[in-house]
């Protein structure tokens, strides 16, 4: 079975991967019965033949050439439409799972296709009210998800994203509601969703047991539509304020655009590496100007920090949402 995704009319993807599994990098909310325009990217799990050996594709082949453990991957030219990412995975075939490294590669491929159209991801959570977007950015496990959920579930704000936000020109951000990563710190927020809270609680307990913690994650991936009604998910908004979240003594202070630029350049590109060895090799032989695409991303980052109010918010207890709301800044 094939599935079609339409990301805000910007990028159209065809895939035969289970949408619930792919939901951690490609939101199910973009699923369509079919699409009328040409597909830009195809992500397909299938066996395939690749005879020609050259450096103008990204190709990988595992040690087993036959049988159930045979593995291989091929990424065709980004200059083509559609770009094909074909792979054969024993893990997916036998256990219906994908390696984290493959998820990362898929996400990076999606971003390159977006950059070719003048869009990029920014590592941030985002809420919206009255057409104004508020971005929260920070390294992982600082408090982005909790802050976004508190403002969405307890205040009159609409949800755009919790970990990755899609950024375009004119300081417009678009929703990108991938599955939320929830853990024990989110239990109080999710107590009304008993099934989800129970799952997180048990995973947290089992992950503390030696040996079992090697196979049981303390985190749960939660589809945003199980927490927030679709009507509360905004499509896009213009960036008004950016808050950099940090752990430390409680305080809020405004920072200069230049300081915000320095910070966004680092934290905004977390969780993906477009200059990894595989892409660098591919770009070298295929003539793709990878650095130009990265500069497009940097320009988009700089546009929003120079047009928005920018603040640092520090808290030792993760009260970022409460502090910002009590300050009157939102």
Q: What is the pLDDT of residues 31-55, one digit of tens each?
A: 999 888 899 999 999 999 887 766 6
Average pLDDT taken over every residue of the chain: 89
Overall average pLDDT of the 199-219 stretch: 54
Asked whether the beta carbons of 242 and 264 are under 8 A apart, the reply is yes
Domain count, the chain: 3
Q: Per mean pLDDT, which range of 84-88, 217-221, 239-243 is the poorest?
A: 217-221
Among 70, 91, 117, the domain-final residue is: 117
Q: Which residues contact 145 (CB under 8 A, 6 or more apart)?
A: 125, 162, 163, 180, 181, 182, 186
What DSSP element (H or E) covers 313?
Answer: strand 309-314
pLDDT at position 224, please? 84
Residues 148 and 243 in one domain: yes
Residues 141 and 271 in one domain: yes
Sign of dihedral through CA atoms 35, 104, 224, 148?
A: negative
Among 117, 133, 163, the domain-final residue is: 117
For residue 116, cis peptide bond before it (omega within 30 degrees of 0): no
48 alpha-carbon distance from chain centroid: 29
pLDDT at position 37, please? 82
Is pLDDT at 183 greater than 90 in this prediction?
A: no
Residues 90 and 218 in one domain: no
Overall average pLDDT of the 199-203 stretch: 55
Asked whether the beta carbons of 115 and 297 are under 8 A apart, the reply is yes
- What CATH number has the domain bearing residue 153? 3.90.228.20
**Residues spanned by the domain of 238:** 121-179+229-326
Is pLDDT at 186 greater than 80 in this prediction?
A: no
Q: How far apart are CA 313 and CA 301, in angstroms?
A: 20
Q: How far apart are CA 227 and CA 60, in angstroms?
A: 39
| Confidence bin at 313 (pLDDT 50/70/90) | very high
Buried b (16+ CB within 10 A) or exposed e, 294-319: bebbbebbebbbeebbbbbbbbeebb
Residues 72 and 148 in one domain: no
Is pLDDT at 306 greater than 90 in this prediction?
A: yes
Residues 194 and 275 in one domain: no
Query: Of the spans 66-80, 137-151, 170-184, 295-309, which averages the highest pLDDT?
Result: 295-309
């Amino acid at each position: 079975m094939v599935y079609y995704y339409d990301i805000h009319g910007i990028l159209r993807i065809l895939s035969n991967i289970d949408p619930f599994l792919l939901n951690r990098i490609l939101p199910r909310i973009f699923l369509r019965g079919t699409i009328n325009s040409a597909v830009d990217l195809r992500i397909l799990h299938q066996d395939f033949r690749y005879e020609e050996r050259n450096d103008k594709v990204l190709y990988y082949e595992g040690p087993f050439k036959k049988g159930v453990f045979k593995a291989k991957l091929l990424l065709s030219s980004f200059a083509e439409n559609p770009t094909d990412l074909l792979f054969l995975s024993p893990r997916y075939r036998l256990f219906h799972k994908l390696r984290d490294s493959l998820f990362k590669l898929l996400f990076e491929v999606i971003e390159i296709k977006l950059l070719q159209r003048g869009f990029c991801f920014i590592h941030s959570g985002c809420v919206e009210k009255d057409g104004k977007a508020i971005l929260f950015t920070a390294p992982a496990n600082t408090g982005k998800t909790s802050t976004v959920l508190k403002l969405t579930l307890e205040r009159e704000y609409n949800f755009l994203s919790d970990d990755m936000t899609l950024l375009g020109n004119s300081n417009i951000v678009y929703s990108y509601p991938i599955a939320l990563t929830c853990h024990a710190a989110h239990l109080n927020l999710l107590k009304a969703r008993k099934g989800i809270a129970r799952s997180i609680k048990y995973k947290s307990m089992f992950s503390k047991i030696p040996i079992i913690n090697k196979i049981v994650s303390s985190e749960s991936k939660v589809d945003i539509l199980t927490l927030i009604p679709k009507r509360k998910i905004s499509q896009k908004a213009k960036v008004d304020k950016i808050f950099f979240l940090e752990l430390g003594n409680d305080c809020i202070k405004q920072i200069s655009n230049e300081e915000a630029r320095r910070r966004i350049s680092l934290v905004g590109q977390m969780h993906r590496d477009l200059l990894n060895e595989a892409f660098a090799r591919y770009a070298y032989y295929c003539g793709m100007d990878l650095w130009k695409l990265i500069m497009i991303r940097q320009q988009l980052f700089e546009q929003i920090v120079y047009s928005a109010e920018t603040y640092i918010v520090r808290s030792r207890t993760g009260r970022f949402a409460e502090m910002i709301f009590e300050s009157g800044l939102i």
